[in-house]
Amino acid sequence: MDPFKDLYQSSFIEGYCKQENTTQYFKRFFNDEAASAYTELDGIKISRIGFGSYRVARGNAIFEKALELAILNGVNLIDTSSNYGDGSSESLIGDIIRKLIDESRIKREEIFLVTKIGYIQGKNLQLVEEMEKQGKAFPDITYYDPNCFHCISPDFLEDQLTRARKRLGFSVIDAVLLHNPEYFLMDSEHHNVSREKAISEYYDRIKKAFAFLELKRQEGIIRYYGISSNTFPKEESAYTFTSLSKVLEISQNMYGLGSGFKLIQFPANLYETGFITEKNNSGESIAMLAQKKNLFTLINRPLNAMKKQGGMDRLAIYQGNDLNLIKGKLENFTNQLKEFQQSMFQTLGIENVNFTFVSVIETYRDKFNSKEHYHQALNYSVIPQIKDLLSRIEKLDKANSYYTFYLDLINEGIEKLEQYVEARISEKMQPLLSKLQKLDNVFLNKTLSQASVIALLPFTNSVLVGMRREEYVKDILPILKSEIPKLTKKDFNNFEV
């Protein structure tokens, strides 16, 4: 049985992104202000900001509204992957685009859709393991760990491309990228394979994948192809480094200037600047070489910045938060909650409780590095454990003298702790925004998240931003009308706070 059956669309939407339609799209939303809103690939106008759909899945109205808001306000670039939401991200995108087309609010030819292939996780892992039991394994699978395999063999790409088209409901996909093919190198390094041998096999696999993708382009199933790699910006000596120079050489030797290899994607932000500072391609950075060779570049992870000494900063400031005031309110609340909790435990005879919301506040309040991190901890760790405690209380509290009030206190605490996380992060990140504002007046009156994305635009075609909520979309949309600053790579020194 096909594990993706419920994610497939009922039919294909014909067409693909076209120059004349994207011209009309941007005129519709921006009139004469469209110049900074888009960049171009072979004349096709593509928004400078893309909707990144990592952690977006079908069936969530919040995600649906966010995507719809973005598309209807000038974001015509959408990036997804076969493993985002276990395939469900592609289905949600297909749902919304189909809905907007049916409502005559957009045309298929106005949207540039990028998807990626390579990961074997979740349903794909289930599928692959079942095929292997039947003796029908895909060739050249990298068995990275028990929960994550990887593959870019033509047979696997054929299978995944077919499923991606069904989930999206598109007869033609504008661009398909090999998704982090360096997993092969990561696995080879782990198994102490000589770097020379691993690199030779690595680029041979990319060559075979390109031959398949070029065939699909000639068949009209895809329009362009490329690679999304986390190791494009790495130092040239790194074992897992992916060389754009070498990939270009493969493409040009196979197909010359007529190749469909036109896009690359990589992570970059104000902290991780290897894309412009690391001269890892015959003395040129990946940004310089890509520009010279007319490759369309996509930056991902612009707001989740990995620090040199470990850890991550979320490049965002939450407005209107006074840290000292909010900290005082949280401490007062914590004391009240602790007193009530102690009285309740004593009355109900509850002992040996090691995890409460009081312990969360006291132990972890300064360890959340972003609001997203806080929400993840709530959903996957804190709330499940608190529910166990609440269940014990509810059984013992026959008269409901404590349970309902305690539940209300916890909900109040969740909100107060979030306010504290926002205020602490905002105070920490304020110097970064001030530094940007001193570099160029473009950054004045901008939020830190806006400024962090705008700073990347001089060096790339488009920046992909995770905009899973309408509030995130509304924060990022003004960038499409912003001027692009005149920055150089020297300006990217020491942004880390």
- Are 51 and 26 contacting, i.e. CB atoms less than 8 angstroms apart? no
**Pick from 285, 288, 431, 426: which is nearest to 369 by CA?**
426
Q: How far apart are CA 188 and CA 140, in angstroms?
A: 13
Is 494 a residue whose pLDDT tops 90? Answer: no
* Mean pLDDT value of segment 390-399: 91
Q: How far apart are CA 157 and CA 212, in angstroms?
A: 8
Q: How far apart are CA 1 and CA 4, in angstroms?
A: 9
DSSP state of 252: H
Q: How far apart are CA 280 and CA 289, in angstroms?
A: 10
Q: In the prediction, which pLDDT does 33 show? A: 66
**Stretch among 38-47, 228-237, 482-491 having the lowest mean pLDDT:** 482-491
List domains and CATH numbers for the chain. 5-314 (3.20.20.100), 323-426 (no CATH)
* Mean pLDDT value of segment 296-308: 95
Q: How far apart are CA 275 and CA 266, in angstroms?
A: 8
Q: What is the pLDDT of residues 116-149, one digit of tens each?
A: 999 999 999 999 999 999 999 999 999 999 999 9
Q: How far apart are CA 323 and CA 317, in angstroms?
A: 12
Is 34 a residue whose pLDDT tops 90? Answer: no
Q: What is the pLDDT of residues 251-284, one digit of tens each?
A: 999 998 889 999 999 999 999 999 999 999 999 9
Is 35 a residue whose pLDDT tops 80? Answer: no
Q: How far apart are CA 248 and CA 21, in angstroms?
A: 30
**Stretch among 77-86, 252-261, 282-291, 314-323 having the lowest mean pLDDT:** 314-323
Q: In the prediction, which pLDDT does 399 show? A: 86
* Mean pLDDT value of segment 392-396: 92
Q: In the prediction, which pLDDT does 36 show? A: 83
- pTM greater than 0.85 (yes/no): yes
Q: What is the pLDDT of residues 414-450, one digit of tens each?
A: 999 999 999 999 999 999 999 999 999 999 999 999 9
* Mean pLDDT value of segment 12-33: 92
